[in-house]
Amino acid sequence: MVLSSLLFPLWSYFIVLPLYPEGLNFHIYANKFGGNINSINTLNHYTGLAPIDPKLFPELKIIPVILMIFGLFAIIVAVLGNRILALAWFVLFALFGVITLIDFYLWLYRYGHNVDPKAPLAIEPQTLPMIGINRILTITIYAYPNVGALLLLLAALLSFVGIVLSFRIKPAKA
C-alpha cells in the first residue's frame, strides 16, 4: 500500500473563480505536481502569490525515496513476522506522517504570508488551507487529502491493527 501511494496524488486543491467557473485542479504527488499549474501560476501572479515551481521543493525528491524505504521495510517485516520490527515500522511511519504534515502546514503558512503587495489583486497574508474550504476574494479553494494519502493512512491503520492483534494472540508452545 505504501508503494502504491506513489502512483496517486497525496493531496489536492480544487479552485473555483469567475474566470475559471469549471475550476482548476492542483495535485500534489510524492514526486511531482499535476493539474492546471500554468493557469494557477497566472492566478498567483494577479493575487501576489509566488509561482508554483517544483524545482523549489526538495520534498519532491526526498519523499518518494522515504516511501520506497518504508515499503521495502514493510515487506521485510511481513516476511519476518517480527512484532518488534512491526512496532518500529509503525512508530517511524507515524513520525514520518506527523513531520510531513507539519512541513506541509509550514510551507502553506510561508507561501500564504509571502504576498507581493504590488500585485494587481493583492490578498491579505494568510495561511492557505490544508484541508477544507477557504474563500479569498472571489476565489473558493477546496483542499483535501487524495487517494495517495488515504492509502498511507490505511497502511498505518492496518499495521496498527496487526500489531495489536499480534500482541493479543499468544504464540503456540512447541
Phi and psi angles of residue 47, each rounded to the nearest 5 degrees, phi first = -95, -5
Instruction: Give, for 145, the enclosing helix (H) or strand (E).
Output: strand 139-145
Flag whether 50 is in a domain.
Answer: yes
Q: What tens digit of pLDDT does each residue of 85-126 get?
A: 999 999 999 999 999 999 999 999 999 999 999 999 878 899
* Rounded CA separation 172/50 (Å): 61
Flag whether 34 is in a domain.
Answer: yes
Cα four-point dihedral sign 162, 165, 171, 172? negative
pTM: 0.90
Flag whether 97 is in a domain.
Answer: yes
Q: What tens digit of pLDDT does each residue of 24-65 get?
A: 999 999 999 999 999 999 999 999 999 999 998 999 999 999
Flag whether 163 is in a domain.
Answer: yes
Return the residue matching grid coordinates 523549489: 56
* pLDDT score recorded for residue 121: 85
Nearest residue to 52 (alpha-carbon basis) of 64, 38, 62, 71: 38
Flag whether 78 is in a domain.
Answer: yes
Flag whether 173 is in a domain.
Answer: no
Confidence of residue 173 (pLDDT cuts 50, 70, 90): low
Number of structural domains the chain divides into: 1
Confidence of residue 171 (pLDDT cuts 50, 70, 90): low
* Residue 116, domain extent: 3-168
